[in-house]
Structures are given as C-alpha cells and as structure tokens.
Amino acid sequence: MASGQMSAVKRFFLWDYPRASWQYDVVVGLILAFIFLTPRALFRDQPRASSIVEVPSDHGRAFLLEPGLLESIPDGARKIRVEGILRSRYGKSETVTQVEPILDHEQELKGYMVFTKP
C-alpha cells in the first residue's frame, strides 16, 4: 500500500495524468486556486509607484517618489534635488517644505513622501 501511495504522490508532482482526466482537472484546479486565492501580502507584493506620483493632500501638493531617485543624495540636499525633479517633470517651480522617508515594518525604505507649496 505504501508503494501505491508513493506512486500517486510521484504522479501528482510530476503531473503524470492524461489530459481531460479527473486527476488532471484537480491538479489544474489546485494551481488556479493557489494563484487566485493566495493573498498578496504573503509574497509582500505591493504596488509600486512610477518614479513620481502626485497624491491627494489637504495641505498644498504631495508627491510619492521612488527611493532610487534620492538614494545617493545626502539629507541636506534632498529638497533641492526634489525641486529640480519636479521642475523638470511638471514645468513649474514648487517649494519643497518636507521630504519624509517611507519605511515598511522591517524598516526598509519604500519611497519618499514630498510636500510642496506653490
């Protein structure tokens, strides 16, 4: 009996069932259930912004920047760099009031939140 169970497990992992058999349909159903029912958070798959995205804000304008834009810039020069990026992207001058790093629960840098005023 143990060899029969081992054979069934081996056939399952090697997908050794003919098409249109009920075993084949069960394996396909399991794969589809895994794909569509597995929560995103399990794989830490979160949407990423393009390089700069304007987000709604109650005070002035706010932008979400990806971390690669400011990773090699020292803290003191970030506001100047962001003002240059926004001027080249939107064609008008914005005064950056605050640049805040966005960290996840593991303290990994995910981006920067930038607040501006006209």
Q: What is the model's pTM?
A: 0.55
User: What pLDDT is stored for residue 78 in this prediction?
Assistant: 87
Q: For residue 113, list its beta bridge partners.
A: 64, 100
| Residue 33 main-chain phi, psi, to 5 deg | -65, -40
Per residue of the chain (118 residues), what is the pLDDT tens digit?
Answer: 566 677 878 877 787 788 888 888 988 999 999 999 988 777 776 665 468 888 888 877 888 888 888 878 888 888 888 888 888 888 878 888 888 888 988 888 888 898 988 7
Report d(CA 68, CA 104) in Å as an integer.
16
Burial class (CB in 10 A: 0-12, 13-18, 19+), 32: exposed
User: What pLDDT is stored for residue 36 in this prediction?
Assistant: 92
User: What pLDDT is stored for residue 60 in this prediction?
Assistant: 77
Cβ–Cβ under 8 Å, residues 64 and 53: yes
User: What pLDDT is stored for residue 2 in this prediction?
Assistant: 64
